[in-house]
Amino acid sequence: MAKPKIQYVCSECGSSQSKWMGKCPDCGEWNTLQEFVVRAPEKTRGATALSNAGPIRPVALPDIPKESMVRLPLKIAELNRVLGGGIVPGGCVLVGGEPGIGKSTILIQMAAEIATTVGPVLYVSAEESAHQVGRRAARLGIQHDKLFVLAEIEVEGIVEQIEQMKPSLVIVDSVQAIYSA
């Protein structure tokens, strides 16, 4: 097993450095580099999830089943409106915006709601420690035993936790800060 490496990720811009610095070389902010342990990836045999799916073929539009799209409605009215009535199970949503606009705050609120109504939620924080996310949740009055926080920047570690936990929802905050080893 390879020795774990240390990476330092800027909590402001998400850039990754191999050594700690007082000032982020990319965004120029001071004391924003946070230490993360990077595990060596396990050897795999490729895309085993797709290997048993059979050949992939194009499907004509009229032949695609017209099943109704079930949505999980949210109590956050504006988010519900933007998502067309709620979250689509199995879907993927990218939330973007300027730094400090409240993306992480609205995501932790949504995570708490889904944890209450549907089941366990994994909130992956690639820019903040679990402690920082916990403090934000406490400020919002969120304490939920089905809401789990994982401070991780390596895709393989995130996938490993998803496979073990099998959460109803996974939130990655922020996707630009994660990488594959």
**CATH number (domain holding residue 99):** 3.40.50.300
Domain that holds residue 20: 1-40
Q: Computed from CA positions of residues 104, 97, 99, 76, in that sequence, does the dihedral angle turn out positive or negative?
A: negative
Q: Are residues 28 and 75 in the same domain?
A: no
Residue 102 φ/ψ, nearest 5 degrees: 115, 15
Q: Establish if 137 belongs to a structural domain.
A: yes
Q: Are residues 25 and 87 in the same domain?
A: no
Q: Establish if 100 belongs to a structural domain.
A: yes
Lowest mean pLDDT among 19-23, 103-107, 115-119: 19-23
- The DSSP bridge pattern shows strands 147-151 and 5-10 to be unpaired
Q: By percentage, how much of the chain surpasses pLDDT 90?
A: 43
pLDDT value, residue 40: 56
pLDDT at residue 120 greater than cutoff 50: yes
Kindly state the average pLDDT of the residues 30-46: 68
- The vertex-69 CA angle with 65 and 72, nearest 5°, equals 155
Q: Are residues 18 and 94 in the same domain?
A: no
Q: Are residues 96 and 179 in the same domain?
A: yes
Q: Establish if 60 belongs to a structural domain.
A: no
Residue 161 φ/ψ, nearest 5 degrees: -70, -40
Q: Establish if 150 belongs to a structural domain.
A: yes
Q: Establish if 135 belongs to a structural domain.
A: yes
Count of structural domains, the chain: 2
Q: Establish if 78 belongs to a structural domain.
A: yes
| Band (148; pLDDT cuts 50, 70, 90) | very high
Q: Are residues 82 and 143 in the same domain?
A: yes
Kindly state the average pLDDT of the residues 137-157: 94
DSSP string computed for 108-175: HHHHHHHHHHT--EEEEESSS-HHHHHHHHHHTT---TTEEEEE--BHHHHHHHHHHH--SEEEEETG
Q: Are residues 79 and 27 in the same domain?
A: no
Kindly state the average pLDDT of the residues 121-140: 94
| Band (172; pLDDT cuts 50, 70, 90) | very high
Kindly state the average pLDDT of the residues 66-93: 85
Q: Establish if 162 belongs to a structural domain.
A: yes
Q: Are residues 16 and 100 in the same domain?
A: no
pLDDT at residue 13 greater than cutoff 80: no
Q: Are residues 89 and 159 in the same domain?
A: yes
Q: Could you tell me if 162 and 169 are in contact, meaning their C-beta atoms sit under 8 angstroms apart?
A: no
Q: Are residues 164 and 87 in the same domain?
A: yes
Q: Establish if 139 belongs to a structural domain.
A: yes
